[in-house]
Amino acid sequence: MKRAFIIIMTVALVAVSCTSGKKEAVNPFFAEWKTPFGVPPFDQIKNEHYLTAIDSGIALARLQIAEITGNEDAPTFANTVAKYDRADELLSKVAAVFYSQTSASTNDTLEALQMEIAPRVSAFSDEVLLNAELFGRIKTVWENRDSTQLSAEELFLLDNLYKSFVRNGALLGPEDQEKLKKMNQELSVLTVRFSQNVLAETNNFRLVIENEADLKGLPESVITTAAEFAKDEGLEGKWVFTTQKPSMIPFLQYADNRDLRKKLYDAYLNRGNHGDQYDNNKVLADIVRLRADRAKLLGYRTHADIVLETRMAKTPGNVLNLLNDLLERSLVVAKRERDEMQKIADAGGDKVKIEPQDWWYYAEKLRKEKYDLDENELRPYFSLDNARDGAFAVATKLYGITFTRINDIPLPHRDAQAFEVKEADGSHVGVLYMDFYPRESKRQGAWCGSYRDHQVTDGKEITPVVTIVGNFTPPAGDKPALLSMDDVLTLFHEFGHGLQGLFSENTYSSTTVAWDIVELPSQIMEHWATQPEVLAMYAKNYETGEVIPQALVEKIRNSSYFNTGFDNVEIMAASLLDMAYYSLEAPVSIETQQFEKETMQKIGLIPEIEPRYRSTYFLHMVDGYDAGYYVYTWAAVLDNDAFEAFREKGIFDQATATSFRKNVLEKMGTMDAEQMYLNFRGRKPEIEPLLRNRGLN
């Protein structure tokens, strides 16, 4: 085995060191990373390193699997499952860096590589999951599980590994397995194309304003940012706005020019819907068709039935019951909000009937009238650095951990920051990267990922390297990056994901996370962001250092139900759209725009609100949250109920925090999700706290 490994690595090294007859640096993926804490050497990794490293990772994993299947000893957890868990170490190491970079710092070369790598990785995945000898050994271990002395984590891993093989075609006949492979190949390319099209469409649109009068209503900070962006684009003296939310939302909130608001919002809504090379209508239709065909081939009614098999929700019916109930409640509130805003428009003599592009504009006026709160009053107290440090301070008070800036360490991008995370006793927990500002090479939204997950290898603990990525408004002029309240909540949200990754205590790299609970660690963190005693810790004026006045804190509290109808309707509509696509039974043939329109009509969506994501740029629905966008709502039931446990004893109660860390954050993916929650809360979650906190009861 060792000799085979050396042969593979030698071939790989020759491939990268003799290009064009010139000696080049050794591929960094084939060497031990002698960086602080073993983080990826981003400054050494070049585009040309990925493909060779991926191919070598596949080849090495293939050899290690052959060693497992060639073992003449009876299958055991140790000689089969544990060895399988380690088989793709190199491949996973490369993939973690590659896919993180293609999300946060891509370029034309990386995008081309994605299209080349995706089918290769998909083909290898099928090769493994449809390996009859490997499955036979895993099946034997699974069938004998009751007669072996396995830990609870090992039993959970084994059970889910066996079922994953079955769910991915291990029991199909040879002819059907070939059909499955072809479907998976097509899907691997289509999903990459969909994502790349969204990025291209986001980058291709610019609202260029030349007449200063068209900026009427906009805050000075927003105007300054737009001017600096225009300058960077070679348009000095003009102002540029984009469909990136940090640029678009302030424009929709404050710009008096209704025609320009509509132009910008329509550009956002129609990304991927222009009938050109970046059009996603047929791409999505093909994805939905293939996933339905795949489900039928595997013996499931729909794609949603496959996805939900490992979830807390279990069935599409349970998901729809929750979503439809909340949508009905939310529509009542949203219609009331719409009517209140229409009165403001009428009173101001605007002579308009509110349409989707108007919602943010009149909602901002309603906020000021009803709660005497202008979001621009808050921004000076929410500098990005202060909000980040506030999230750190909450984690320190809850769990005793500390965050220390690391300056001499490779960064995934020059804008990124790095922190060492330590326990209260000074022991190392992991490394946290944070990358906050938008750029053309970064996809939309905010997310948390990892360059290395926690595990135990040969008795040695491997500590995590986590990354949090966002798209917040960058500094402008002499002002630091100033966040909106929504931005602050987003930062705390992703930080919650980061804590879960840092606290993971899994022994093996293979985990099975019920996606319904994956948003609990993130969404519960949002609750701390607006607590008065937490605001006092971080909400400080960037110029004077003054702590946010109590009057503003009261306004934040009083306005907690502001726009809640709109927010909930937006997300329920998107969740129901996702479920509608993936609840279709094969054969499926749809026209996406018509399907979306009919779905929104069926659920009773009012014309003044669009779903949070429309079909042609709904990335969640394609790359991981397919038949799963509902999880944000399912997890909302959990996070509101869980935060009640903190409220009952104090939001920084150490016993409650310890229980949440030990039973939820550390156990994610290593035990049943319902049991995790029961162990923490002592009972099943209740929906009343969610209804109360969102003003829907």
Q: What residues pair up with 115 in beta bridges, in sequence order?
A: none
Burial 342-372 (b: 16+ CB within 10 A, else e): bebbeeeebeeebebbbbbbbbbbbbeeebe
Q: How far is CA 127 from CA 115, 118, 178, in A?
A: 19, 14, 10
Instruction: Write the burial class of residue 656 (CB in 10 Å: 0-12 exposed, 13-18 middle, 19+ buried).
Output: buried
CB of 154 within 8 A of CB of 77?
yes
Q: Six-digit token pair at 89?
A: 């170490």
Contacts of 648 (CB under 8 A, 6+ apart): none
Residue 12 one-letter amino acid: A
Q: Which of 154, 494, 596, 610 is catalytic?
A: 494
CB atoms within 10 A of CB 374: 15
Give the integer Cα–Cα distance in Å for 531 and 647: 11
Between CA 394 and CA 651 the distance in angstroms is 10
Distance from CA of residue 451 to its chain's centroid?
15
Q: Where is 404: in which H helix or E strand?
A: strand 402-405
Residue 454, classed as helix, strand or coil, is: coil
Is residue 306 classed as helix, strand or coil in its secondary structure?
A: helix
b (16+ CB within 10 A) / e for 164-177? ebbbbbbebeeeeb
Cis status, amide bond into 685, omega within 30 of 0: no
Q: Which residues, other chains included, contact 485 with Cβ-Cβ below 8 Å and sequence gap of 6+?
A: 375, 378, 382, 530, 556
Query: Distance (Å, rounded) from C-alpha 52 to C-alpha 13?
Result: 9
Structural contact between residues 90 and 29, judged by C-beta atoms closer than 8 angstroms = yes
477 φ/ψ sector (left φ>0, alpha ψ -120 to 50, else beta): left
Active site includes 494?
Answer: yes
State the virtual CA torsion across 242, 246, 249, 255 in degrees, nearest 10. -70
> What single string gives the DSSP state of each residue in 173-223?
-HHHHHHHHHHHHHHHHHHHHHHHHHHHHHHH--EEE--GGGGTT--HHHH
Q: Which amino acid is at 533?
A: E
CA angle 506, 510, 516 (to 5 degrees): 80
Angle (CA) 218-224-229 rounded to 5° is: 115
Catalytic residues: 494
